[in-house]
Amino acid sequence: MSFIHEINEARSETFKESVKQRHVDKQKELQEEQLEFHSIITETINRIDEIKSGILNAAKRDDHSYIILDNFKWVKSPYFLGSVDFDGAALNTSELLSGDPTLLGFNSEWHKTYRQFVRETIKDKLFLNLWEQLESLGLEPFVTNDGFKNQFGVKL
């Protein structure tokens, strides 16, 4: 075996180990993120009565939406199918959620379709459970992006 061949083999082994370690590190990071995510969603589900009170107070102020999670950062796999673009052209802003049919041609039917699309992209069963609990109260959950962070809330 030539010396250059030994060098290339050593590099190859180092590269393989590096790739393997990055994969292990990424898996660990995803597991930690999922534990954090599930902790936040479980806490949110456990305080549903407090959230309902906040929603009632928002309705008294004539607000059209109520933000449940103000920094909802889990908008990609493994929580959602594929890559869901909540930013887009600000497609899910509170203005569009109002159902005003004159606003850029969007209306409540469009919002219902978009909300259904987002709901169908949710892979995480615990988050889907929260979404369905909110829907069972007659609320319309949504995920929106203000350009800096994602928010999870409900339309009133």
Highest average pLDDT, of 30-39, 57-66, 69-78, 135-144, comes from: 57-66
pLDDT confidence tier of residue 93, bands split at 50, 70 and 90? very low
pTM for this predicted structure: 0.64
CA atoms within 13 A on the CB side of 8: 5
What is the distance of C-alpha 16 from the center of its chain? 33
Whether 149 and 63 have beta carbons less than 8 Å apart is answered as: no
Given a cut of 60, is residue 129 above it in pLDDT? yes
Between helices 125-136 and 3-46, what is the axis angle to 10°?
Answer: 20
Query: Among positive and negative, which fits the CA dihedral 38, 123, 140, 66?
Result: positive
The domain segmentation of the chain, as residue ranges, is 3-155
pLDDT score of 97:
39
Highest average pLDDT, of 13-17, 85-89, 113-117, 147-151, comes from: 13-17
DSSP state string for 59-104: HHTT-SEEEEETT----STTTBSS---SSTTTTT-HHHHTT-TTST
pLDDT score of 64:
87
